[in-house]
Amino acid sequence: MSTKKNYNHIENDKQYKGLNVNKGIDQPETFNEDSIQRFLKSKRKKIKTAADYVDGILAGNITTLSQAVTLVESSKKEHQEVAREIITQCLPYSGKSLRIGITGVPGVGKSTFIESMGKHITRQGGKLAVLAIDPSSERSKGSILGDKTRMEELSSDSNAYIRPSPSAGSLGGVARKTRETIVLCEAAGFDTIFIETVGVGQSETMVHSMVDFFLLLMLSGAGDELQGIKRGIMEMADVITINKADGNNIDKAEMARVQYLNALHLFPPTESGWVPKVLTCSAFHHIGIDKIWETIQEYISLVKKNGYFQHKRNEQSKFWMYETINDHLKSDFYQNNALKELTASFEKKVLGQEMSSFVAALELLKNYYQSKKNDQ
Ligand code: GDP
């Protein structure tokens, strides 16, 4: 190699005859101050204020509504602050919808029913929002409403808005988010809100405490052992509907209807003055859907006349105030990092019979209050 020779460019060595290195050109000035500013501005996302969200929601803008619901569902502190502001500003525009809870075991036909009833409502000029309470959805990968194809027609209806259940959090957390989403949907002009839940757990009690009307979907046949639906849930229902009353199932559905009607007679009279009804329908073939809608209207006009509608809403508002306090206190306690280790060690002591459950709890609470005082 000729590295010892002092060539400016190795390419200029004689051995590379035919190769000529020319002087390059200067870098053209593609970036100046103006263009950089323009570039940065285009990249900078416009941060919406709470007022921007509220304007969009009140104008019925679905994209803005969805973004606001995402803020409601977010666990980030800064999102929650904006969400609270949005809700406060939307509150005066809320409350005018009909809130309907729909429950039933998986497979009973909830989404088929919601689609059929939903189309019935939007055809008459109504605007429908469908929400869900399903605290198990993370585990079960979205057993309800997770998959929008379940309500294909309704999903593409411009007068319907479908929002799957917030997937994370405790039942109380999911319920709070759903209740706040109701406020936003109402402010956006939705006059009917469906809240769907699987009728197997505790979630129906939550749904019941946020709706005006509660509909329980049931099946005929299936052993008639109340299909895993607890008595308490039947007691909450304003209407029970036997679904899949079609084909050779019609007679069985009618028999089930009479059976459930007899079962309902055993319950004490309702506070609303309404006598719960049992109906049949075929969500799949759109049979009996109009009758159910009429019955819901009948119920609403009765309870609006006798004052129960407002009474129930007031009770629900109170309930949610206390429920939120409980929820907040609980999460504040369990998220307190200073207490985590102590809680774990007390748990061990309780299990090892070294400490009673009550003493452990009181000690932990004492520590919690002390840590709050220290924070001040
Ligand atoms: P969900 O789990 O409660 O939401 O139930 P789906 O709406 O997904 O329905 C479960 C199955 O029952 C689907 O295969 C539906 O097509 C069927 N189904 C729902 N409603 C009816 C009905 O009225 N009649 C009949 N024959 N089948 C139905």
Does 246 contact ligand 1 (Cβ within 6 A)? yes
CATH number, domain containing residue 58: 1.20.5.170
Residue at 344 is within a domain: yes
Query: Do 199 and 241 belong together in one domain?
Result: yes
Query: Do 160 and 62 belong together in one domain?
Result: no
* Ordered DSSP codes for 234-297: HHH-SEEEEE---GGGHHHHHHHHHHHHHHHHTSPPPTTS---EEEE-BTTTTBSHHHHHHHHH
Does 283 contact ligand 1 (Cβ within 6 A)? yes
Residue at 15 is within a domain: no
Query: Do 350 and 300 belong together in one domain?
Result: no
Query: Do 251 and 341 belong together in one domain?
Result: no
Give the separation between CA 60 and CA 66, rounded to whole angstroms: 11
Q: Which domain holds residue 83?
A: 42-93
* Ordered DSSP codes for 44-81: SPPPPPHHHHHHHHHTT-HHHHHHHHHHHH---HHHHH
pLDDT of 20 over the 70 cut: no
In tens, the pLDDT along 52-63 reads: 999 999 999 999
Mean pLDDT in the chain?
Answer: 85
Does 215 contact ligand 1 (Cβ within 6 A)? no
Query: Do 118 and 62 belong together in one domain?
Result: no
Does 276 contact ligand 1 (Cβ within 6 A)? no
Range ranked top by mean pLDDT from 142-151, 173-182, 184-193? 184-193
Please give the average per-residue pLDDT across 58-71, as a whole number.
Answer: 95
Mean pLDDT is lowest, of 69-73, 172-176, 314-318, 357-361, for 172-176
Residue 221 vs residue 82, higher pLDDT = 82
Please give the average per-residue pLDDT across 304-319, as a whole number.
Answer: 94
Query: Do 155 and 270 belong together in one domain?
Result: yes
CATH number, domain containing residue 226: 3.40.50.300
Choosing from 57, 72, 93, the residue where a domain stops is: 93
Query: Do 201 and 343 belong together in one domain?
Result: no
Query: Do 71 and 204 belong together in one domain?
Result: no
Please give the average per-residue pLDDT across 63-70, as a whole number.
Answer: 95
pLDDT of 162 over the 50 cut: yes
pLDDT of 209 over the 70 cut: yes
Residue 184 CA, ligand 1 centroid: distance in Å: 30
Query: Do 78 and 206 belong together in one domain?
Result: no
Query: Do 133 and 66 belong together in one domain?
Result: no
Share of the chain above pLDDT 90, in %: 53
pLDDT class of 91 with cuts at 50, 70, 90: very high
Please give the average per-residue pLDDT across 96-113, as a whole number.
Answer: 92
Mean pLDDT is lowest, of 153-157, 195-199, 333-337, for 195-199
pLDDT of 146 over the 50 cut: no
Does 146 contact ligand 1 (Cβ within 6 A)? no
Query: Do 81 and 227 belong together in one domain?
Result: no
Residue at 325 is within a domain: no
Query: Do 266 and 132 belong together in one domain?
Result: yes
